[in-house]
Amino acid sequence: MGGVLFSEPMGHAGAGATHASAGTLKMFNETRGGARSPFTMPKMNHSRRSFLRVLGAAGAGAPILARAERLEAALPPRPDHLGFEAASPASVRRLRDSYFLSPDLIYLNHASIGTVPRPVHEAHAGYLELCETHPSLYVWGGVWREVTEDTRAAAARLLNCRSDDLAITHNTTEGFSILAQGLDLDSGDEVLFSSLNHAGAAVAWDELAPRRGFTVRRFDFPLERAPDLTVDEVVALHVDAIRPETRVLIIPHIDNMIGMTHPIREIALAARDRGVEFVFVDGAQSAGMISVDLSVAGVDAYAMSGHKWLQSPKGLGLFWASERLQAVVPRMWFKTGGDRVDMTARKYEDYSTRAWPAVVAFGDALAFQASIGAQEKERRYRALWTLVHGRTTADARLHWGSPVDPALRSVIMAVGVRGRTAPELGPMLLERHGAVLRAFGGRLNTLRISPNQMTEDQELERFLDVLTSNSS
Ligand SMILES: Cc1ncc(COP(=O)(O)O)c(C=O)c1O
């Protein structure tokens, strides 16, 4: 469960993977400069074309169908297999070229907000245009419901869960708002999380606790021990914090400060042994970066934001709830109308007017990430971690603040510069060197480096050179 990314021996993952030809990569590269998209074979895209079928069935007239068909034909085909090779700098370069990201930046802030690949953006723009040809039909006519079910199925494959238990929401914060508003907590009940928990997974509980009478408790995570921690120790830290009144435990799958991959299955099992009724996981930083398998996680809910590691259009997320939880947590949005959905986790996304073009483009984002290949992605992230960790620990001017245990680490890395404060360094690095990252002050006092699979080694090397030259 999770952690697969870093716990496999180096050089093992990806063995036996098939790669597309050099021709494929050339086509991929040719996406630049506004040319129509890239990828492999010009493949009929069944999922996207389903909305034409729905249009036909809905009795849309011939001119509308013809226009929709023309616009759809201009959309980039969803990629199948990009032929990305993690070990090839040329391949990483080509991947980098399929983004709009400014060449003037060293963008190491993917954990805050990712960037949409060109083909996903082009598809999104196409859906927007289509939508505006006949807004009432496209927004109210149910035209994009079927393709949204295909997207839900793709997301379910990514998280290894049932489609019926998955809602396409706006972001992680919304998932936790659904939970905090819907769960029947009372005085005497406690919600517990560590100081690594993000505000997005905490704020709804904090706000509602005084009104409803339950309590929220944060235990202090020993940041300074992070590089030496083992899985058993991380589990023990959580279990030791549990009290008889703890009814809910919230765990970030990967936290946003030191990038620790929490052993969620082990923590959930141990927490249940201690009488915790619900375990909720903040997946904002995990889906799209590491393998997630909700079928064996033993947790009750998982919420994430697509705009980070899935590089979807902004304002899209996923919320997974176990069947048991769906039975006790009602819908958060109120809505009238004959098409109201009250069954399955779909009820959590059943708000009224919806930004359908973005929702449909979420399917393109999932397809793009899948086409990179999970194994090559993992291999690339291991290589990036090795580069940053190796240089940081070899240089007395820098210090390392993230977990090192392969089962606990991720590609979110905390690096400090001796003699300098991180909040002072952050803005200077942006202004003088175009480096975009987050700085954490206080006890941590580290810069958070969060590259993506398309970040080139040379960008990171350049950034680390800058860091060492700014030590004092
Ligand atoms: C771990 C974690 N949880 C939750 C959030 C909140 O995400 P959103 O604002 O998309 O709801 C973030 C955002 O950075 C995060 O890193």
**CATH number of 191's domain:** 3.40.640.10
The residue type at 251: I
**Pair 271, 393 in one domain:** no
**Pair 379, 331 in one domain:** no
**Pair 361, 379 in one domain:** no
Q: What is the DSSP string of 47-61?
A: HHHHHHHHHHHTT--
As a whole number, mean pLDDT of residues 8-36 equals: 30
Residue 36 pLDDT > 80: no
Answer for the pair 309, 285: CB distance below 8 angstroms, yes or no. Answer: yes
**Pair 359, 379 in one domain:** no
Residue 369 Cβ contacting ligand 1 at under 6 Å: no
Residue 247 in any domain: the answer is yes
- Report CA(347)–ligand 1 centroid distance (Å): 22
The residue type at 139: V
Nearest 5°: phi and psi at 120? -70, -40
Residue 68 Cβ contacting ligand 1 at under 6 Å: no
Per-residue pLDDT at 48:
63
Q: CATH code at 397?
A: 3.90.1150.10
Decide: helix, strand or coil at residue 132: helix
Residue 425 in any domain: the answer is yes
| Domain C-terminal end among 325, 343, 365 | 365
Per-residue pLDDT at 207:
98
- Who contacts 402 (Cβ-Cβ below 8 Å, separation ≥6)? 226, 227, 258, 259, 260, 409, 410, 412, 413, 414
Residue 389 in any domain: the answer is yes
Q: Which of 314, 322, 312, 275 is nearest to 179 (CA)?
A: 322
Residue 326 Cβ contacting ligand 1 at under 6 Å: no
- CA distance linking residue 138 with residue 128, whole number of Å: 10
**Pair 209, 69 in one domain:** no
Per-residue pLDDT at 55:
87
Tell me which residue range forms the domain holding 48: 4-90+118-143+367-373
Number of domains in the chain: 3
**Pair 207, 297 in one domain:** yes
- Where does residue 434 fall: left (phi above 0), alpha (psi -120 to 50 degrees), or beta otherwise? left
As a whole number, mean pLDDT of residues 130-157 equals: 94
Would the pTM count as exceeding 0.85? Answer: yes
| Closest Cα to atom 15 of ligand 1 | 284
**Pair 56, 165 in one domain:** no
**Pair 342, 412 in one domain:** no
Q: How confident is the model at residue 455 (pLDDT cuts 50, 70, 90)?
A: very high
Residue linked to tokens 């035209």: 143
- Report CA(201)–ligand 1 centroid distance (Å): 7
List the alpha helices (DSSP H) in 274-419.
323-328, 356-372, 374-393
Q: Cα 121–437–226 angle (5° rounding)?
A: 120
The residue type at 279: V
Q: Which residues lie across from 302 on neighbouring strands?
A: 281, 320
The helix (H) or strand (E) run that includes residue 234 is helix 231-241
Residue 150 in any domain: the answer is no
Residue 172 Cβ contacting ligand 1 at under 6 Å: yes
Residue 170 Cβ contacting ligand 1 at under 6 Å: no
Residue 148 in any domain: the answer is no
Per-residue pLDDT at 96:
96
Q: How confident is the model at residue 25 (pLDDT cuts 50, 70, 90)?
A: very low
Per-residue pLDDT at 18:
27
Q: Which of 228, 156, 245 is nearest to 237 (CA)?
A: 228
Residue 292 in any domain: the answer is yes
- Report CA(289)–ligand 1 centroid distance (Å): 14
**Pair 30, 130 in one domain:** yes
| Domain C-terminal end among 342, 365, 388 | 365
Per-residue pLDDT at 209:
98
Q: Which tokens hold the place of 178?
A: 């659904």
| Domain C-terminal end among 323, 342, 365 | 365
Residue 334 in any domain: the answer is yes
Decide: helix, strand or coil at residue 146: helix
Decide: helix, strand or coil at residue 455: coil
**Pair 387, 457 in one domain:** yes
Question: How big, in percent rounded to 5, are the helix, strand and coil portions of the chain?
Answer: 45, 15, 40
Per-residue pLDDT at 373:
93
Q: How confident is the model at residue 47 (pLDDT cuts 50, 70, 90)?
A: low
- CA distance linking residue 218 with residue 329, whole number of Å: 24
Residue 33 pLDDT > 70: no
Residue 97 in any domain: the answer is no
**Pair 318, 182 in one domain:** yes
Which DSSP state fits 40? S
Per-residue pLDDT at 68:
86
**Pair 36, 174 in one domain:** no
Which DSSP state fits 111? T
